[in-house]
Amino acid sequence: MEDLKSIIRDVPDFPKKGIIFKDITTLLQDARSYQRMVDLLAHRYVGQHIEKVVGVEARGFVIGSALAYKLGAGIVMVRKPGKLPSETFKKTYDLEYGTDTLEIHCDAIKPGERVLIADDLLATGGTMSAVVDMVQSMGGEIVECCFMAELDFLNGRNRLPAGKVFSLLNF
């Protein structure tokens, strides 16, 4: 995994001073690394009868779509308000300084469907916690929340269902 980690670029002071941003675009644009990352994640879920993969805007679409394809599952998009064309279920959640809102189509997940939630990076867990609440409110059975990378020092997994978090790379 160290070879994949080494491809991810650190960008100091982005989006604000004191933050070291993990830029995954360097991994995504390298075809062999991107394929390897998707294959490693997908391998974990083969045979688990995943029916839907939920991708979280926007980089979660890149991970989630590839996983859905590999697993023969449908892809569901969780988006910012006003981006989905049909009736939506909304979830507003707290951020460090303020709130944010996400939406999912009301008919995207049926009760009892086995759902894998995918995103690029787990940091504080606030966004993913909101997505977990949305999926559970719709009756989806969460198999796991999976991430390409996790910032361990932020303890985001503590906000998610115990035993249902997997990160390929840890920082």
- Selecting among 44, 59, 114, 159, the annotated active-site residue is 59
Neighbouring CB atoms inside 10 A of 32's CB total: 9
| Cβ within 8 Å of residue 89, ≥6 positions away | 103, 104, 105, 106, 134, 137, 138
Quick: pLDDT tens for 17-53. 999 999 999 999 999 999 999 999 999 999 999 999 9
Of 77, 101, 98, 75, give the one whose Cα is nearest residue 90: 101
Which residues, listed in sequence order, are joined to residue 169 by a DSSP beta bridge?
149
- Give the Cα separation of 103 and 88 in Å (integer): 6
The answer to whether 96 is a known catalytic residue is yes
Residue-level pLDDT at 153 = 96
Quick: pLDDT tens for 115-125. 999 999 999 99
The answer to whether 159 is a known catalytic residue is no
CB–CB of 126/93 below 8 Å? Answer: yes
CB–CB of 160/132 below 8 Å? Answer: yes
Confirm or reject CATH 3.40.50.2020 for domain 48-170, answering yes or no.
Answer: yes
- Selecting among 2, 32, 87, 96, the annotated active-site residue is 96
Q: Is the four-CA dihedral 125, 131, 135, 141 of positive or negative sign? A: negative
CB–CB of 91/80 below 8 Å? Answer: no
Across residues 129-140, what is the average pLDDT? 98
DSSP state of 24: T
Quick: pLDDT tens for 149-171. 999 999 999 999 999 999 999 99
Quick: pLDDT tens for 43-98. 999 999 999 999 999 999 999 999 999 999 999 999 999 999 999 999 999 887 78
- Give the Cα separation of 157 and 23 in Å (integer): 20
Residue-level pLDDT at 98 = 84
Across residues 103-119, what is the average pLDDT? 98
